[in-house]
Homo-oligomer: A and B are copies of this chain.
């Protein structure tokens, strides 16, 4: 880290910073410029927060971090991509996975119809909510254990591994019995009690990016899981909150390429939450794969206009089939340049 002194810092103030850097376990290295002095804190074993807090010391202008704060998720720690396996499905390998299913499990009939439908269309895994994080307490909160049992039945009938959301440490054991992969929802990305609990398992985790999380914060949330011992982590970009309201969120597709550049973890995309709009899901799914995503997760419902939740962004089964077919279309051709004198 670099401590950037003010223009008018006194020799005593500079000396104080040098002293504090030593106390924090780093070596100070001083650069005296024509206008200002900077002091680098060199070394790897010191207490970073003590350097950060120097920004309030007299004569200090700013403190600038240099190194990335994450370690185990970093490409520098593990240059080759990780592959996370869920019941034989490889996420992060050469092929892309497609996870599909309803926002919420509403009934046995609804889920089984969807499961068979998405499997026939080519989905690789099944999603479905049993415990639902809902903005309002008056909205449908999920069927709970009843939903978990229906999900298990769907897996038995279709062979599709199941991913479902876990919202609380208290539900972890129960959900582990029924599901093949646990999802940490966007609103819980920084629920550290939950992350620490999931870090003690080997069950694969689908970690959604929080609606206001930077890529750095998202990777640090994953770092909690790896630091605690669970390396089976798949990241999921699902859109961030911005001023644009024409879509439910703003799908940050470039963050997928960036996360894969910074980290070895697999990354998938959720165009359903990312757009909130049925009509955009096909195009954004294609774009996600083009940008390098290792898979997509899509909401499908037999009758979206009767869905208990997320109807506006759910595909019906024929629409999902069309999206799946669209994923194999080639990109549009680049036009050859004309040679003319204009």
Contact = CB atoms under 8 A, between A and B. Distances in A.
A134 B48 CA distance: 14
A171 B324 CA distance: 45
Contact of A38 (B2, B123, B140): B2
Given A31-B40, A251-B252, 10 more contacts: A56-B304, A88-B340, A133-B190, A137-B224, A215-B244, A245-B245, A283-B292, A284-B291, A287-B288, A331-B331
B212 A67 contact: no
Contacts of A335: 89-90, 93, 95-98, 124
Given A167-B193, A192-B167, A241-B212, A87 B311 contact: no
Contact of A334 (B2, B98, B244): B98
Contact of A253 (B94, B123, B227, B253): B253
Nearest to A324: B334
Contacts of A4: 66
Nearest to A199: B137
Interface in A294-308: 304-308
A34 B43 contact: yes
A245 to B, nearest CB: 6
B53 A306 contact: yes
B167 A170 contact: no
A180 B215 CA distance: 37
Contact of A328 (B139, B227, B334): B334
**How many monomers of this protein are in the complex?**
4
Contacts of A212: 210-212, 241, 243
A254 B33 CA distance: 32
Contacts of A194: 168
Contacts of A124: 334-338
A341 to B, nearest CB: 6
Closest A-B pairs by Cβ, 9 of them? A53-B311, A212-B212, A168-B193, A95-B335, A290-B290, A287-B291, A187-B190, A257-B283, A287-B287
Given A278-B56, A304-B56, A338-B89, A33 B38 contact: no
